[in-house]
Chain A
Amino acid sequence: MSNGISCARWCAAVLAFACMAVPTAAADTVYVSNEKDNTITVVDGASLEPVKTIPVGQRPRGIVLSKDEKSLYICASDSDHIEVLDLAADKVVRTLPSGADPEYFALDPTGKLLYIANEDDNLVTIVDIDRGAVVTEIPVGVEPEGMGISPDGQYLVNTSETTNMAHVIDTAKREIVANILVDSRPRRAVWTADGAQFWVSAEIGGTVSVVDAAKHEIVKRITFAVSGVPTEAIQPVGIAITHDRKLAFVALGPANRVAVIDAQSYEVKRYLLVGQRVWSLAFNPDQSRLYTTNGVSNDITVIDVGSLKPIKSVPVGQSPWGVVSRP
């Protein structure tokens, strides 16, 4: 070697550089569903290292924490049920009915009901968690996907991929009260913490629609452009909005970018390069960090929300899909 420095020393130098870049850690635990491995990876939020891999049902995708944050509910899509993972024992202790092919779901604010999108049956299934029973099924548009429940639990927004609509469902009456046409292949519906808006991502349309929740009207259609990245590679999916509604983050799929948006002016402030095919987003409990699942690079990217910089990639399982964090 021309400069006489060994490969090992160079690697150590890069590693030291990488470690220095990670700010002091928050003490949370991150859970990631790995669609192809049939596992959940547990990542320690302090060290940002994977610490455990837990086997679960077939094709785990959507995940959500129980209200007491002691359990993790998992859409085991190819097992056609929901699994309840006990986070103290790190094992599946119960299954819940879900209807066919559950992909994504929402937990109502009381923590008693799960609203599940059944992609193949064009239904939203409501499940009573304590009783482990289906309460009812609501017919919706073709290929239901995204599920977002309002902070007061009064309304559920479900997106249907093929119908290109966001359906607003009154959870008391259990019926659709409004249909809002959004752009092509809507994915996620995420409410602002004040309940005034919900944001809907459109994967093929390449946009995010901001909807006034009271008027059921689109107030802004946010578009994205990343220099050098073809338009068709910009595929918005995951959305995360800070509690104070100052910032929003949108995962742009194969563009390998997370868009940072001023959630008041709707202006895209910057695009952060993360792992490949970025899909779902989740904050840590104090919202100082954002985690992204990257389905092609098989890792999660940790973004420091204060500096708006990706600070680390953490390897997880094959095709990471969902992500949540708990204290």
Chain B
Amino acid sequence: MPRLTTAAYWNGPLDARGDWRADPEIAELVHRLAPRRVTTEEGLAEIAKFADTASEDRPHRLALVFRGLLEETDRERAGLIEQLTQMGRRQRELADLVARLADDLDAVAPDTTGEAAQKRVDLQQRHDFTARNFEEIQRTIRYACEAPVELDARLGAWARALQQAASAAVPG
């Protein structure tokens, strides 16, 4: 999915008129929760605390929190996807280089002697180093690919908590 949208998380219309940044308490909460290091559970605890205090115009303020978290998460996720795209591009270049080095190696007979033999050793080392580099980055990419999904899952859990709180009766 290219961008995160309200409708993927929120049931029905979102009453989030106004700018979430204009409410200092909401802005502070959003900026505290948005970074990737914040876990789903930490966020849920903070949302529960906020929902408990936001008695005035609660559904609207909770909707604004969601709008803020959506925008910030989307921004962060888009940045991650861009990084992954760049990594993918670099990997394709590395893969091409490995293939070229393998062709060069094949062009030198294994039982060759003298200068050509030394050239073969150098080529072999370069090939092995590049291939190893490729494999290591590949492992990193596999791990990094999970990050946008984790952000999506975290936002979903927070959206459900916010919507549930917005539709629950005001306590007290």
- Which residues of A are in contact with B by a Cβ distance under 8 Å? 1-7, 9-11, 13-14, 17-18, 226-230, 232-233, 254-256, 273, 275-276, 296-298, 313
Taking a contact as CB atoms under 8 Å apart, the answer to whether A4 and B152 are in contact is no
Cα distance, A230 to B74, chains bound together (Å): 14
Q: Pick the residue among A11, A18, A298 that contacts B153 (CB under 8 A).
A: A298
Query: A2-B53, A230-B3 given as contacts; is B153 within 8 A of A14 (CB)?
Result: no
Report if B5 contacts A (CB, 8 A): yes
Q: Contacts of B172 on A, CB cut-off 8 Å? A: 3-5
A254 partner, pick from B1, B6, B169, beta carbons under 8 A: B1
Give the one of A254, A296, A298 with max B CB within 10 A: A296
Beyond A228-B5, A233-B1, 17 additional contacts (C-beta under 8 Å) are A1-B53, A5-B172, A6-B52, A10-B51, A10-B52, A13-B168, A13-B169, A13-B171, A17-B164, A226-B7, A229-B5, A229-B7, A233-B8, A273-B9, A273-B10, A276-B156, A296-B153
Cβ < 8 Å to A, chain B residues 34-48: 45, 48
Return A2 CB to nearest CB of chain B, in Å.
5
Residues of A within 8 A of B7 (CB): 226-229
Contact B171 A10 (CB under 8 A): yes
- Closest residue on chain A to residue B51 by CB atoms: A10
With A230-B2, A313-B160 known as contacts, the answer to whether A5 contacts B8 (CB < 8 A) is no
Q: Which residue of A lies closest to B52 (CB)?
A: A10
Prevailing SS type, chain B contact patch? helix
Contact A9 to B11, CB < 8 A, known contacts A230-B5, A254-B1: no
* CB of A32, distance to nearest CB on chain B (Å): 17
The CB with the most chain A CB atoms within 10 A, among B10, B152, B156, B160, is that of: B156
State in angstroms the CA–CA spacing of A9 and B9 once bound together: 26
Q: Which residue of A lies closest to B153 (CB)?
A: A296
Among B2, B45, B172, residue most surrounded by chain A Cβ atoms (within 10 Å) = B172
Task: List 29 A-B residue pairs with CB atoms under 8 Å apart, sorted by A's residue number.
Answer: A1-B52, A3-B52, A3-B55, A3-B172, A4-B172, A5-B52, A6-B52, A7-B52, A10-B48, A11-B48, A13-B168, A13-B169, A14-B168, A17-B168, A18-B164, A227-B7, A228-B6, A228-B7, A228-B8, A230-B2, A230-B3, A232-B1, A233-B5, A254-B1, A256-B9, A273-B10, A273-B11, A276-B152, A313-B160
Chain A CB within 10 Å — which of B1, B9, B168 has the most? B1
Bound-complex Cα distance A10 to B171 (A): 7
CB within 8 Å for A256 and B171 given contacts A1-B53, A296-B153: no
Contact A296 to B149, CB < 8 A, known contacts A1-B52, A10-B171: yes
What's the nearest-Cβ distance from chain A to residue B40, in Å? Answer: 10
Cβ contact within 8 Å between A7 and B171: no
Bound together, the chains give a CA A276 to CA B153 distance in angstroms of 7
Q: Which of A3, A230, A254 contacts B53 (CB 8 A)?
A: A3
Determine the residue in chain B with the shortest Cβ distance to A4: B172
B69 within 8 A of A: no
The 8 closest A-B pairs by CB, nearest first: A228-B7, A5-B171, A273-B11, A10-B52, A276-B156, A229-B7, A3-B55, A3-B172
B144 at interface, CB cutoff 8 A: no
Residue of B nearest to A276 (CB): B156
Smallest CB-CB separation from B163: which chain A residue? A273
